[in-house]
Amino acid sequence: MSRIAAIDLGTNTVRILVVDVNGEGGYSPLFSGQTVTRLGQGLHETGSLAPEAIKRTTDGVAELIKRADSFAPFSLTITATSAGREAANSEALDAMIRSATGHGIKIISGDEEARLSLKGVQLAIDDDDFILIDVGGGSTEFIFCKDGTLAKVYNSNLGVVRLCETYLTKHPVIEKEYNEMTSEIDRVVNEAFNHLDAGEGAMLVGTAGTITSLAAIAMGMVDYSPAKINNYRLTDEMLESLRLKLSALTIEERSHMPILRGGREDLIIPGVAIVQSVIKRFGSSQMVVSDYGLREGLIMELMEK
């Protein structure tokens, strides 16, 4: 039995998964963990990763590897997504992580990110036809899965970090700023809908931290449970209730919510706006949630090699 590990180095969050690979094409999870480092802080303004963000992220990666050390030895792969793709100085991130951990990073394209996210989500979602929405810190991927395979992808820059930094200056949220943000979101979601050409009423599936956080808050979770998140259904009524509640709170007040504490207090607002826009434009009344995503898809990919 071999042991492998994958790190998903996102624009806001770094996540690790260590597994034992069995001989039947499956795996047994041994350790998972995450830390919020906000690698993409200020990236949309400068075009480069800030030195302090590189340092935070390197420290976060090193800490996660250290926490997983009791399960060593394992083969580790680190992938970077939107922030790594967009930054003019991503080689500085690679160099610092390589120096600190002995492991370099692999920057994957938006299409590759979509493909791996779908592969991970399919471990949790027992359906062959759906639209997958992967809401990240620096981008959102819209993925049309038809007959169990990836049919079309629309890559967008609707990242919750960029949206938050661009539009939201105050918390509680200022209505004018929120409306300006949703105007951009609605425009991009409409472009995605037209590109995918899947028709209205398709089953919607959402993955990544913002969406899973919304599900956890809706369930009143204190301690996050992936098993309870998978296949949970967020309705438009739930989302509107969450939007009104969260928008009225300060950052400090949101930080008292266990699920948001530690880095999602502000990002949850553009997150709920994206999900509401998607549900409305795609003609649905709910979104099925998947805790599984890119990290699990990468594990499956590594197992096949």
With both helix axes pointing from N to C terminus, report the angle between 209-218 and 236-247 in degrees, rounded to the nearest 10. 90
Name the nearest CA neighbour of 32 among 52, 50, 15, 45. Answer: 15
Angle subtended by helix axes 175-196 and 268-281, to nearest 10: 40
270: Cβ contacts below 8 Å, ≥ 6 apart:
160, 163, 164, 167, 168, 181, 185, 210
Give the pLDDT confidence score for residue 305 in this predicted structure.
Answer: 76
Cα-flanking dihedrals φ and ψ of residue 20, to 5°?
-95, 130
User: Residue 231 has what pLDDT?
Assistant: 96
Residue with tokens 């935070």: 56
Mean of per-residue pLDDT scores for the chain: 94
Q: Would strands 204-207 and 130-135 be described as parallel, antiparallel, or unpaired? A: parallel
Domains 2-108 and 126-294 share a fold: yes
Burial class (CB in 10 A: 0-12, 13-18, 19+), 150: middle
Please tell me the distance from the alpha carbon of residue 171 to that of residue 185, in angstroms, as a whole number: 19
Q: What is the pLDDT of residue 24?
A: 77
Cα 101 to chain centroid distance, Å, stands at 24
Which residues in the chain show pLDDT less than 50?
A: none
pLDDT of residue 1: 55
Q: What is the pLDDT of residue 22?
A: 87
**Domain 2-108, CATH among 3.30.420.40, 3.40.50.880, 3.40.50.150, 3.40.50.720:** 3.30.420.40
pLDDT tens for 62-82 read 999 999 999 999 999 999 999
For residue range 48-62, list pLDDT tens digits in order.
999 999 999 999 999
How far, in Å, CA of 86 to CA of 261, rounded?
A: 27
**How would CATH label the architecture of 126-294?**
2-Layer Sandwich (3.30)
d(CA 5, CA 263): 24
Half-sphere exposure of 87 (CA within 13 A, CB side): 27
Domain boundaries, the chain: 2-108, 126-294
Q: What is the pTM of this model?
A: 0.93
